[in-house]
């Protein structure tokens, strides 16, 4: 219809403009000033501008220790660790192909830079601007025996491919009685808030897919975990969705092994042991809660145990429930809206498994039930102060 065509044209123009802005940002390595520039258009918003700058990064990145079990390491940020994982895969697996919008020149966030020149245009190539087609092609390629790695340019634009992922990829093996499958499909997508993304570049859609058996969902917290978990997804015999926290692409820097290595899926990691409160998160929010752990210890004398869930589906219930049985209190935090967010699933499971251990109601500190705002992002995100106040309430209950 005419309305559909107009909407598609507007979407293409909007995304093209956004793509140029993001590409310029990434190539320069500079923090975007897009949101600040918009705020400066108003003569009455100087205080808001300061708030926007203050919250441009609402966390301090805490790098993981240098891994010693995987061989030599080199300094990488998160997007470079993605590139390294894809490079290892293309080098070792002749059936591997990488495709998506603009991946041939390196992608908006530079995650595939140099791979087309190294491995050829038949293995690293652009697709039309059609997410449904990207995933549909990936399903077919994987079913035919290829290792298919699809990129959705932003997680916010994964929804047109929802039918292909949920009704086709996730059910392919089941409906054929295991005669056929598309388990060699991995779908990558930049995910989460970035400081200036607003409605269409800041969403965290993991809960939409967590309701669907047959796929795995993984979200890393930094470069070391990113490479190991991505390679595990690529090697896994089930279709996987790998969400990459876009705000960490350049902010997160660690010593990452140059050779291929894997980190097991569906295993949460206890990053900080504690005795009073269990904190659970994934992706960017891990770094927010790391600061909360320190604040709680210094200001309240409260010992927090911090768990990185890492795999959203199937998630590690054993590690979380074991921790809650010890501490008696649980706080879960994520950027996505609170209603129907994955924190609700964790809360329900823990209540069923650990009811007699609980000393206080399970608490969720999440995004609000609104579209992701632009200038009001500082009020929307579940920052360390909101989480710290929640810890105080848990302890004093």
pTM for this model (two decimals)? 0.87
Same topology, domains 73-257 and 269-396? Answer is yes
The yes or no reply on domain 269-396 and CATH 3.30.230.10 is no
Residue ranges per structural domain of the chain = 73-257, 269-396
Q: Give me Rg for the CA atoms of the chain.
A: 21
From first to last of the 397 residues of the chain, give the pLDDT tens digit.
434 443 444 444 444 444 434 333 433 333 333 333 333 333 333 444 444 444 447 999 989 999 999 999 999 999 999 999 999 999 999 999 999 999 999 999 999 999 999 999 999 999 999 999 999 999 999 999 999 999 999 999 999 999 999 999 999 999 999 999 999 999 999 999 998 899 999 999 999 999 999 999 999 999 999 999 999 999 999 999 999 999 999 999 999 999 999 999 999 999 999 999 999 999 999 999 999 999 999 999 999 999 999 999 999 999 999 999 999 999 999 999 999 999 999 999 999 999 999 999 999 999 999 999 999 999 999 999 999 999 999 999 9
231: its two tokens: 């390679």
Q: Return the active site residues.
A: 131, 201
130: its two tokens: 């059609």
Question: How far is it, in rounded angstroms, from Cα 25 to Cα 284?
Answer: 20
The CATH fold of domain 73-257: Rossmann fold (3.40.50)
Sheet holding 124-126, edge to edge: 124-126, 96-100, 147-151, 185-191, 240-245, 216-218, 311-313
HEC string of 188-238? EEEECCCCCCHHHCCCCCHHHHHCCCCCEEECCCCHHHHHHHHHHHHHCCC
First to last CA, the chain: 57
Give CA angle at 373 (81, 280), nearest 5°. 50
């Amino acid at each position: 219809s005419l309305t559909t065509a107009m909407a598609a044209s507007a979407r293409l123009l909007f995304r093209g403009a956004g793509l140029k802005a993001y590409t310029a940002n990434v190539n320069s390595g500079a923090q975007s000033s897009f949101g600040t520039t918009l705020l400066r258009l108003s003569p009455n918003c100087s205080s808001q501008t300061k708030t926007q700058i203050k919250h441009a990064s609402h966390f301090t990145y805490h790098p993981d220790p240098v891994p010693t079990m995987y061989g030599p390491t080199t300094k990488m940020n998160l997007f470079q660790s993605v590139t390294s994982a894809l490079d290892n895969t293309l080098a070792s697996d002749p059936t591997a192909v990488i495709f998506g919008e603009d991946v041939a020149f390196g992608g908006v966030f530079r995650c595939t830079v140099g791979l087309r020149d190294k491995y050829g245009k038949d293995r690293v190539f652009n697709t039309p601007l059609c997410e449904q087609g990207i995933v549909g092609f990936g399903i077919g390629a994987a079913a035919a025996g290829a290792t298919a790695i699809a990129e959705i340019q932003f997680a916010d634009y994964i929804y047109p491919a929802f039918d292909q992922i949920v009704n086709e990829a996730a059910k392919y093996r089941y409906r054929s009685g295991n005669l056929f499958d598309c388990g060699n499909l991995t779908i990558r997508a930049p995910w989460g808030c970035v400081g200036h993304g607003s409605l269409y570049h800041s969403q965290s859609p993991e809960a939409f897919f967590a309701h669907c058996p047959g796929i795995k969902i993984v979200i890393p917290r930094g470069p070391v975990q990113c490479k190991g978990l991505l390679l595990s997804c690529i090697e896994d015999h089930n279709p996987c969705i790998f969400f990459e926290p876009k705000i960490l692409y350049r902010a997160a820097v660690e010593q990452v092994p140059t050779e291929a290595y894997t980190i097991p899926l569906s295993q949460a990691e206890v990053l900080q042991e504690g005795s009073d409160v269990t904190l659970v998160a994934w992706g960017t929010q891990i770094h927010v809660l790391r600061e909360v752990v320190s604040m709680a210890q210094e200001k309240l004398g409260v010992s927090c145990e911090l768990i990185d869930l890492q795999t959203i589906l199937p998630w590690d219930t054993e590690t979380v429930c074991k921790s809650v049985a010890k501490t008696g209190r649980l706080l879960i935090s994520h950027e996505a809206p609170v209603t129907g967010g994955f924190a609700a699933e964790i809360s329900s499971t823990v209540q069923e498994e650990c009811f007699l251990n609980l000393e206080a109601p399970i608490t969720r500190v999440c995004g609000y039930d609104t579209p992701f705002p632009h200038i009001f992002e500082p009020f929307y995100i579940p920052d360390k102060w909101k989480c710290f106040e929640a810890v105080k309430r848990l302890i004093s209950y």
